[in-house]
Amino acid sequence: MTLSGTILVVDDHDYVRTALVRLLERAGHTVVARADGLQALEAMRQQPFDLILLDILMPGMRGDAVLATIKSDPALRRLPVIVISGDQDLDLVAHCIELGAVDYLGKPFVPTILHARVNACLEQKRLRDAEQEYLHMRLSLLSTAAGHPAIANDPALRLALEDPANPAAIDRTLHTMLNRLEAEQRERQRIEDELRALNLILEQRVVERTIVAEQQATALKISEEALRNQTNILLSILDSMGDAVVVTDADGQLLHYNPAATQILGDRLAALLPSAASVPVAQLPDQRTWLLPSELPFARALRGEAVDAAELLLAAPDENPKQWLSITARPLRDAGGNLSGSVAIVRDVTAAKHAEAALRASEERYALAAQGANDGLWDWDLIHGRMYLAPRWKAMLGYQDDEIGTTPDEWFGRLHPDDREHVELRLAAHTRRLISSFELEYRIRHRDGSYRWMLCRGMAVWDDSGRATRMVGSQTDITDRKRAEERLSHDAIHDALTGLPNRALFMDRLNLMFKRTQREDRLFAVLFLDLDRFKTLNDSLGHSVGDELLVAFARRLESALRPGDTVARLGGDEFAVLLDQLNTPADAEWVAERIQQMLQTPLSAGGRDVYTTASIGLALSSGGYERPEEMVRDADTAMYQAKLRGRAHLAIFNTTMHLAALNRFQLETDLRGAIERNEFRLHYQPIVELATGRTVGLEALVRWQHPIHGLVSPGEFIPLAEEIGLIGAVGRWVLCEACCQLREWHARYPQSAAMWVNVNLSARQLAQPDLVAQVAGVIADIRLAPRFVKLEITESALMAQGETVMALLSELRSLGVSVCIDDFGTGYSSLSYLNQFPVDTLKIDRSFVSRLGASRETSEIVRAIVTLAHSLSMTIVAEGTETEEQAEQLRALQCEYGQGWLFSRPLPPDEVEQLLAATGQVCV
């Protein structure tokens, strides 16, 4: 627990006082600061303090003199004092302790120690104050305790109080007295609480039982009244129904029937009951099958069946049919589930049957005419809600004549959701005579799930009151025409490969955004994206795979965006995104980061997984643009700045990028002449045998010594060289220079004659058709044994080009040079695929080496890589070895070689020569 108190800080140095005040106030203390001893003594006499932090060595009155004054003053002598000094004179410190200081704190002080010692002193002061308060309280109690009954009735307690010379006995007496008083109080409180609780329980139970009794009585009255009302309502409903309602008992005897039963059935009702004579009384709708009473709906319901709208023709066998009936019957069951009777609803449908027959004849005549038409005819009965759809109408949608019903929903339910409201509005306008005819193009769903375009025309028929009673029309399939129109419109403003909007459509939408911004304040942004390494992938994997990659990237890009955003392909591997309705610029940055995250998953192209990234430039509408072209231009400029920073970067445009673009153009111009002007330099980083510490190889690293800008980083000019097509020339220079230098060192330092040199090959170099000839020519011209040359290829470049690079590596190895995979572990290579590559060495990426010891998982990954390499007869080099602990773990994992700043930084040639000359074999 941290205590708080009022603390006086005394020190002549401003920065010390300030630091102490800040630390103590953060800990919750009230702090007063003084610069010398006299001011401090004056402050102590003006207000009380819990603790003094006192510097010993101060001008004027020293801290030990202030301490002596404090201890000699009766009003101040109880104040705890911690002395502070940067002086290491322990005698002076000891002198202050003798004067009465409670502790010592050295300069510079550690905040943790400072707080610990301050808390300890405040705790000690609190205990001393409590002890004084306790003594005063004890004296007060002694004066009053003798007359208390608990003392007067206990001779031992009374004798203890009468002996003031025995404080311990008094304390025990007071403690005993307090315990007894507290016990008596607790017992009284317990009894009162129990009585109160019992009383509450009793009252609650009385109330609850009273409420339950009242509720039960009320519910019973309500139930009885509801039952009477329901019975009356049910009887009224039955009596008012136009259909006959008949109820029988379990034996088929009539229990109840409503007036409609007499009107509809008359004396025929008895013939329908199960108890009637066993003679045929009805026919089925086919008018060929006669039914006995035991086969009628009443009897079936008494057998537990549910009968729905069973139609039959009621007549005696020797009479003509006279009455069509529709009967629905259900069994009745008691509370125990036992069959107790039946109930049936009987409807006279004779008139409807005659009307159906007449209508059927009319429809047959109409159908003959409709079947001969090329268009799909329809006839809508607006009064009864029935619709006739000609077979041709149904065939247009892929259906047989009997597969679509007669309700309007058969039409409206298949309309495209975006068209249905428009169709309904046009129909309503025509039936209300707001427009003279109904004519509309819409989409309707085919049986196969697709939508077909139709041209529909129709006319309504009105009765004398002006109400539309019927509507007839036709439907013509215009899908082919609409598709041709849409294709022409789409192709004009969309990219043919990806289907995305093209530059024209993108600029049109951006122009609309500018116009909206003139009317309302809104923030939007343009993202300009360029696929990293696309040219290399396109050249190495083939243009067809490159096209597949662009399509896959387009789909991935669409999935990363919001519904209202626009993504377009501007050309080649360049894409643009228009982000609307942004709250802050951070929203646009979030979208760009989401795109980068989604690209961490490989794209599928040419039957393989291809890893790629994108450089993204961002321009915000808040930049004060007047024309859309300016915004796209600046997003493009920002994208190039992102490329200069490396792959998978985002750059937000600012005005300084114009100057950066000019500088980049100048740098490109300078780079084109750098080889002729001999401005490139090679530095070499040793590769060390971990078991012996010997340097066995060197990695050649190119540098550009610019005449104006000085040493230019490879990360700045290598991507530029790749982009402008100079990487081949730079690579040839590096290979030639490194081989020449190594041959010279072999000649001058015989003890290093076994040392090799590693030279990096970029992905663009791997795509050069004459790469093998270049390497062979350099080695032959310099007369360097090929075994001393190791060519490094990054894992990502290897996996991106796959089988294409496999033959190339085989040709290179046939020259006698070695092949090394650089940055292994970062390219998601297939381990089963690795043994197919002609590779001699794996270089573990520095990201794994740097986490050795910090992560067990990393150690297991490195162990697996080493085991894999050894099983494939490959050697291992651990890049980025920075500590001796990492080196020890690598040795334990049987890793052969290490490379990193633990052994040496990259060295210019003259420093390498110094190392070669200093020892028989370089040991870094």
Alpha helices in 402-478 (DSSP H): 409-412, 417-431
Enumerate the β-bridge partners of residue 460.
471
Cα distance between residue 709 and residue 917, in whole Å: 33
Amino acid at 815: L
CA 448 to chain centre: 36
- Backbone Cα Rg of the chain: 50
Q: How far is CA 192 from CA 181, 198, 203, in A?
A: 17, 10, 17
Question: For the purposes of burial, counting CB atoms within 10 Å of the CB of 413, is it exposed (0-12), middle (13-18) or buried (19 or more)?
Answer: exposed
Cα distance between residue 737 and residue 682, in whole Å: 8
The 10s digit of each residue's pLDDT in 29-60 is 999 999 999 999 999 999 999 999 999 988 88
- Do residue 729 and residue 812 come from a single domain? yes
DSSP per residue, 127-182:
HHHHHHHHHHHHHHHHHHHTTSHHHHT-HHHHHHHT-TT-HHHHHHHHHHHHHHHH
- Do residue 567 and residue 701 come from a single domain? no
Q: Which of 634, 613, 644 is nearest to 525 (CA)?
A: 634
CATH number at residue 37: 3.40.50.2300
Q: Which of 464, 460, 463 is nearest to 472 (CA)?
A: 460
Enumerate the β-bridge partners of residue 703.
681
Average pLDDT over residues 837-849: 91
Residue 698 has pLDDT above 90, yes or no: yes
- Do residue 34 and residue 53 come from a single domain? yes
Q: Is residue 539 part of a domain?
A: yes
Percent of the chain beyond pLDDT 90? Answer: 44
Strands 451-462 and 468-477, bridge-based pairing = antiparallel
Q: Is residue 639 part of a domain?
A: yes
Q: Any idea how long the chain is?
A: 924
Average pLDDT over residues 147-168: 58
Q: Both tokens of residue 741?
A: 């230098």
Pick the more confident residue, 803 or 296: 296
Question: Given this model, what pLDDT does residue 104 score?
Answer: 87
Strands 756-761 and 695-706, bridge-based pairing = parallel
- Do residue 611 and residue 578 come from a single domain? yes
Cα distance between residue 135 and residue 146, in whole Å: 18
Cα distance between residue 330 and residue 305, in whole Å: 7
Cα distance between residue 54 and residue 62, in whole Å: 10
DSSP state of 923: B
Q: For 208, what's the count of Cα atoms within 13 Å in the CB-facing half-sphere? A: 6
Structural domain total, the chain: 5
CATH number at residue 708: 3.20.20.450
Cα distance between residue 781 and residue 739, in whole Å: 10
Structural contact between residues 591 and 526, judged by C-beta atoms closer than 8 angstroms: no
Question: For the purposes of burial, counting CB atoms within 10 Å of the CB of 886, is it exposed (0-12), middle (13-18) or buried (19 or more)?
Answer: buried
- Do residue 30 and residue 106 come from a single domain? yes
The 10s digit of each residue's pLDDT in 53-79 is 999 988 889 999 999 999 999 989 989
Q: Which of 528, 623, 524, 518 is nearest to 580 (CA)?
A: 524
Mean pLDDT computed over every residue of the chain: 85
Question: Given this model, what pLDDT does residue 924 score?
Answer: 38
- Do residue 731 and residue 825 come from a single domain? yes
pTM: predicted TM-score of the whole model, two decimal places: 0.41
Q: Is residue 189 part of a domain?
A: no
DSSP state of 840: S
Of 424, 446, 478, the last residue of a domain is 478
Of 292, 322, 348, the last residue of a domain is 348
Q: Domain range holding 850?
A: 680-918
Cα distance between residue 70 and residue 79, in whole Å: 8
Cα distance between residue 823 and residue 762, in whole Å: 13
Q: For 32, what's the count of Cα atoms within 13 Å in the CB-facing half-sphere? A: 18
Q: How far is CA 508 from CA 526, 562, 776, in A?
A: 13, 19, 55
The 10s digit of each residue's pLDDT in 340-399 is 888 888 888 888 878 887 777 776 666 665 565 678 899 999 999 999 998 899 999 999
The 10s digit of each residue's pLDDT in 177-227 is 677 767 877 887 888 788 788 778 877 877 787 787 778 778 878 877 887
Q: Going along 268-412, which residue ranges are E strands?
A: 282-283, 290-291, 307-314, 323-333, 339-348, 376-381, 386-389
Q: Is residue 184 part of a domain?
A: no
Contacts with 657 (C-beta within 8 Å, 6 or more apart), sequence order = 634, 637, 638, 641, 651
Structural contact between residues 28 and 6, judged by C-beta atoms closer than 8 angstroms: no
Percent of the chain beyond pLDDT 70? Answer: 89
At residue 256, φ and ψ (nearest 5 deg) are -155, 145
Structural contact between residues 589 and 616, judged by C-beta atoms closer than 8 angstroms: no
Q: Both tokens of residue 758?
A: 């590693």
Q: Is residue 255 part of a domain?
A: yes
Cα distance between residue 810 and residue 378, in whole Å: 74
pLDDT band (50, 70, 90) for residue 923: very low
Q: Which of 56, 50, 86 is nearest to 68 (CA)?
A: 56
Cα distance between residue 836 and residue 378, in whole Å: 69
Cα distance between residue 99 and residue 7, in whole Å: 20
The 10s digit of each residue's pLDDT in 643-691 is 878 888 999 998 787 677 777 778 888 988 998 999 999 999 999 999 9
Kind plus residue range of the DSSP H or E element containing 459: strand 451-462
- Do residue 718 and residue 741 come from a single domain? yes
- Do residue 691 and residue 727 come from a single domain? yes
* Neighbour order of strands in the sheet with 438-445: 386-389, 376-381, 468-477, 451-462, 438-445
Of 99, 122, 138, the last residue of a domain is 138
CATH number at residue 526: 3.30.70.270
Structural contact between residues 17 and 33, judged by C-beta atoms closer than 8 angstroms: yes
- Do residue 533 and residue 614 come from a single domain? yes
Look up tokens 């309602």; give the residue.
245
Q: Going along 638-739, which residue ranges are E strands?
A: 650-652, 680-689, 695-706, 710-712
Report the C-alpha dihedral over residues 744, 747, 748, 754, rounded to 10 degrees: 100
Q: Is residue 822 part of a domain?
A: yes
Q: Is residue 571 part of a domain?
A: yes
Residue 629 has pLDDT above 90, yes or no: yes
Structural contact between residues 252 and 273, judged by C-beta atoms closer than 8 angstroms: yes
Structural contact between residues 569 and 607, judged by C-beta atoms closer than 8 angstroms: no
Q: Both tokens of residue 631?
A: 């915004």
Q: Which of 121, 71, 67 is nearest to 92 (CA)?
A: 67
Contacts with 451 (C-beta within 8 Å, 6 or more apart), sequence order = 416, 443, 444, 445
Structural contact between residues 438 and 430, judged by C-beta atoms closer than 8 angstroms: yes
CA 462 to chain centre: 60
pLDDT band (50, 70, 90) for residue 471: very high
CATH number at residue 336: 3.30.450.20
The 10s digit of each residue's pLDDT in 753-781 is 999 999 999 888 888 889 999 999 999 99
Q: Which of 578, 645, 583 is nearest to 614 (CA)?
A: 645
Q: What is the 3-state secondary structure (H, E, C) of 173-210?
A: HHHHHHHHHHHHHHHHHHHHHHHHHHHHHHHHHHHHHH
- Do residue 10 and residue 79 come from a single domain? yes
Q: Is residue 465 part of a domain?
A: yes
- Do residue 464 and residue 515 come from a single domain? no
**What is residue 106's three-state secondary structure?**
strand
Residue 278 has pLDDT above 90, yes or no: no
Look up tokens 């120690």; give the residue.
113
- Do residue 512 and residue 472 come from a single domain? no
Question: Given this model, what pLDDT does residue 113 score?
Answer: 85
Question: Given this model, what pLDDT does residue 134 score?
Answer: 66
Question: For the purposes of burial, counting CB atoms within 10 Å of the CB of 881, is it exposed (0-12), middle (13-18) or buried (19 or more)?
Answer: buried
Pick the more confident residue, 788 or 307: 788
Pick the more confident residue, 324 or 416: 416
Structural contact between residues 54 and 9, judged by C-beta atoms closer than 8 angstroms: no
